[in-house]
Amino acid sequence: MARGIAFALGDGIGSLIKGFCAANPLPPIPLSVSPVDVIDGDLTFIDLLNAIIKTNATDLLLVVHGLLGGSGLALPIAKGAPNATGKRLELLMQVASGTSLSDKQAAEFGSNNKKVVPELLALMKKVRAMNLNTIEWRACDLGKDPGVLKQFRDFFGANLMGAPVIENNFGVPSVNILAINKIPDRFWKGFNHYDYPDKIHTKVTYFLKLNEGTGWPDEGAIFAESSDNLKEWIQKNINPKGTVPKGSMFMHHLWKEADKDHPLDPGIPILPLEAEYKSNITYVRG
């Protein structure tokens, strides 16, 4: 059983992650995660390391905002310092091996770097002493550059580390058993829809309202013509042992943005058990 940490996400996202993990294994391993610690506030990478150490776990799910492009986490490495990136973790590991930082390199850790760098090195040593087996990140784009992910793996000392190459979302769409021709107009007009198994033989329709700025989902609803159809869809696409919930269900998917050659097309959710989910998670091993 893995331990989860939903860290510095805000907007109630942590409760969505907690709900999804309580009902479903995390693909693609799959990893059973319980409990999930929801930690919010004005936090840093140092705070994340301390939270990890407190878990005393060997397997972890870490959900943190990632930097789009894949250079690291959208999380200051320390108070008043830049973000935690693979490059900065590499510098720390060089110091641990006996290399001195130049003034320019030391500035990567903020104005208080003479205190911050030793603190980070001490925490790195403690995390490595946990002998972590698996770390699954659900931080957007963190797996896009395998070299960056390897820098994170080397810093943590985990046997296996995985992260998505694209964005990922957690949500709680409403669940509706209703004939497709009776779905209210507001969903057809204000949401994008995704038909399963396809547009011709549709049994389940997943509606997502996309944010005009980011193009990512803000709201969702699932419609199925029968509970049996919905159960079949859940067990094929989300959880092989899943059941039909009442009212709403916790969801997670990767998010494939529109092709650059077709910018007006909407993004596409990649559901947990779809083959494309696994192919969009990068893994590095020790």
Radius of gyration of the chain (CA): 20
User: Which single residue is written with the structure tokens 């995704």?
Assistant: 194
pLDDT of residue 266: 84
The answer to whether 222 and 178 are in contact (CB under 8 A) is no
The answer to whether 111 and 77 are in contact (CB under 8 A) is no
The answer to whether 197 and 203 are in contact (CB under 8 A) is yes
Residues 12 and 240: their CA atoms lie apart, in Å, by: 27
- The string over 95-122, giving b where at least 16 C-beta atoms fall within 10 Å of a residue's C-beta and e elsewhere, is beeeeebeeebbebbbeebeebbeebee
The answer to whether 246 and 256 are in contact (CB under 8 A) is no
- DSSP type of residue 135: E
User: Which single residue is written with the structure tokens 């998505």?
Assistant: 164
The answer to whether 33 and 21 are in contact (CB under 8 A) is yes
Collapsing DSSP to helix, strand or coil, 109 comes out as helix
Instruction: Give 124-170 pLDDT, tens digit per residue.
Output: 999 999 999 999 999 999 999 999 999 999 999 999 999 999 999 99
- Report residues of the chain scoring pLDDT below 50: none
The CA–CA distances, whole Å, from 285 to 31, 139, 159, 271 equal 17, 18, 5, 25
In 26-95, where do the E strands start and end?
A: 33-39, 59-63, 72-76, 83-85
pLDDT of residue 125: 98
Sheet containing 134-137: order of strands? 33-39, 2-7, 59-63, 134-137, 160-164, 281-285
Instruction: Give 90-109 pLDDT, tens digit per residue.
Output: 999 999 999 999 999 999 99
Q: What does DSSP say about strands 204-210 and 192-196: parallel, antiparallel, or unpaired? A: antiparallel
Q: What is the pTM of this model?
A: 0.96
pLDDT of residue 263: 66
The answer to whether 36 and 57 are in contact (CB under 8 A) is no
pLDDT of residue 258: 80
Q: Which of 76, 110, 58, 69 is nearest to 7 (CA)?
A: 76
Show Cβ contacts of residue 219 under 8 Å, excluding neighbours closer than 6 positions: 171, 173, 191, 208, 209
